[in-house]
Amino acid sequence: IIYQGKGISKRYTLSMIFLFIALEALGVFFLIQKRYSHVLEKGNNTFSEEGSVYVGQISLKSSYALSSGPRLAMAIIFILFGILIMGIIISLKRTKITLYNEFIEFSDCTNKILLGLTSSKYMKDVRVPYSSIISVKADSAHCQIYISLVEGKQYRVVCKDAKQVSEMLETKCGKLC
């Protein structure tokens, strides 16, 4: 084994968790609506020495209620997107990659990860020999490596050290990449 990794980087995980929290907070904000009502409390009319009249007190009371209409729709959309992001985080944490002397083995998450529906039981492990790799492109910001094969297939590999692994793959592939 040359390299073995699992999941995504902590920085990317924290950014995704922040996005999840922000979406859920927006959803709750749109779900709970604040209503204001002005109430005039009557008091005795009193006169000051200058002749001005004081008329009781005005107080502001607020109440909370569930939203309706477009606000409710927006709340549901934000909450569902937040849940989707959490599913994606869980899926990305379960990916794995291993580099051996002759081939690479990784969790295939090309299409399923976008929906957040991938779990470790639905991810299949793919074994690819270095000789069939045409190109390798790294996306370090999103912890991803794109691998193109001679057969025309392309895989998206999730890896916490995307740049390091892509450089190792390029050296293993030789002049083909």
In the chain, the amino acid numbered 152 is: G
**3-class DSSP state for residue 64?**
strand
- The residue that leads in pLDDT, 38 or 86, is 86
Q: What percentage of the chain carries pLDDT values higher than 70? A: 70
Residue 134 per-residue DSSP state: E
The confidence score (pLDDT) of residue 63 equals: 61
Rg, the chain, Cα only: 29
Give pLDDT tens digits for 88-116.
888 788 888 888 888 889 887 665 554 55
